[in-house]
Chain A
Amino acid sequence: MLKRSHYIALGLVMLLTLTIMNLPSRTKARVKQGIASLFAPPFGLTRSARETASKAGDYVLPRSELIKQNEALRVENEHLKLQLQEAEKTDKENAQLHKLLGLQQRTQLKLRLANVVLREPANWWRTIKIDLGTRDGLSNNLPVLTIDGYLAGRIASVSLTSSQVVLLGDPNCKVHARVEETGDTGVVGASGPLDSEFVEMNYLSKTATLKPGQNIKTSGDGGIFPRDIPIGKIVDTHSVEYGLATVARVKLGANLNALEQVWVRFK
């Protein structure tokens, strides 16, 4: 049987929860960020522990191995310097030709490297937290890429020092995409709770000629993701809605389970 004190506790908790859940979205986001900032000390501790462990590993490495690695890096550096000089020449030439033809100059990519600091604790969302925030110039809906350049997701919310990234496969991350080889367009949406490697591409035309292995890239429509960011490759297709549309299963190029660092691409 419920006693008076139980009813009071029940009432208070319900009132508090309903108040929090019905706060204006901006206030709610601030409260959420404020509470999340409590976890900064344990996070900092974990990061410094990892760094210390990594440094300890470096000390153990023998001197001969370090010299060998240094030599290999020096050779690679020379090659890259030469390549850069060639690329700069080509870039200048390209810019001059653009000027002569009156074409619009392509804006340079602006990327910022971020570390993944936390992952989603609940099993029904697919998000990560990165260590860049508004003080680093981040804002909502910026595209996030893997180190290899594959699309990983977009910024969902930003605080001063960190941001939440909603990853591909999450129901809140839908991407308008196209098949590179045929030009057919569709929407890359959610995946199954356990399939983090695969997503479904919906709303493809029934006449689309799709084959396994074809590349999927962002279409540039939708206003969030720029054109031509690689997403993955088609694995298989099947008809839905009594044959009126086609759904393709796409294997993501990004390994979302192993993200340690990501690029944030500025518009």
Chain B
Amino acid sequence: MNWFSAITVFLTAFLAVFWEAAFNGIRHWIGAQIDLLPAIMVYVALSGSIGMMATFAVLGGLWFDSLSANPLGVTVLPLFFIGLAIYINRDLILRDQTFAQFVLGLAASSLAPVMTLLFLLTTGHEPLFGWGTIWQLIVMTLGGAIATPIFFEFFNFVNRVLGPRTYSETSFRPDREIRRGR
């Protein structure tokens, strides 16, 4: 991943966190807000380096917690663990397949809130928790799963249109040219 892609990813994550706090249409409609950070983490873990993945988990988590009543830092570890699990197995994943992206988004978006809730409960906090949480988890899981292929398409499109073009070498080599003499 080049610097341009990295900036695009971080900017998108920043705006995603802002969108989650500023626009509540989905929450009014179906009773839960969708978390987009796990979906972006899937892309970062499959396309970036381990350093970038760790930086994304830290920045994304801190941005999210700063606008939330979450204790600062509680979202960082779930994001990082999800990213690490995907990063370790990324050679085995067909990252260009939409179905694979959907399944990874499904898994990441379901595990991230569950892990965050577990962290909150084990650190003595009292989040809103009940039967309604199951519905919220379903909404977050499905929303994140649908968002993941969309993010892949978006980042690939941005890279294709605005990113530096890859230089394609031809098979012609001047040192192998046969010069015909008279």
Contacts and interface: CB of A to CB of B under 8 A. Distances in A.
Interface in A121-162: 121-127, 129, 156
B88 A2 contact: yes
Given A125-B69, A257-B28, A194 B18 contact: no
A30 B116 CA distance: 22
A212 interface: no
B129 interface: yes
B107 interface: no
A118 interface: yes
Contacts of B88: 1-2, 6
B66 A6 contact: no
Contacts of A20: 62, 72-73, 76
Interface size of B as a range: 35 or more
A66 to B, nearest CB: 31
B67 to A, nearest CB: 6
B182 to A, nearest CB: 60
Contacts of B123: 21
B128 A125 contact: yes
Contacts of B12: none
A100 to B, nearest CB: 50
Interface residues of A, number: 51
A32 B129 contact: no
B97 interface: no
A187 B135 CA distance: 27
Contacts of A117: 22
B51 to A, nearest CB: 7
A161 to B, nearest CB: 14
Contact of A193 (B14, B67, B120, B129): B129
B130 A13 contact: no
A195 B81 CA distance: 32
Contact of A13 (B14, B32, B76, B128): B76
19 contacts: A10-B80, A13-B76, A16-B58, A17-B76, A20-B72, A20-B76, A33-B66, A39-B17, A39-B63, A39-B67, A117-B22, A120-B21, A121-B68, A123-B27, A124-B129, A156-B69, A171-B127, A190-B126, A193-B135
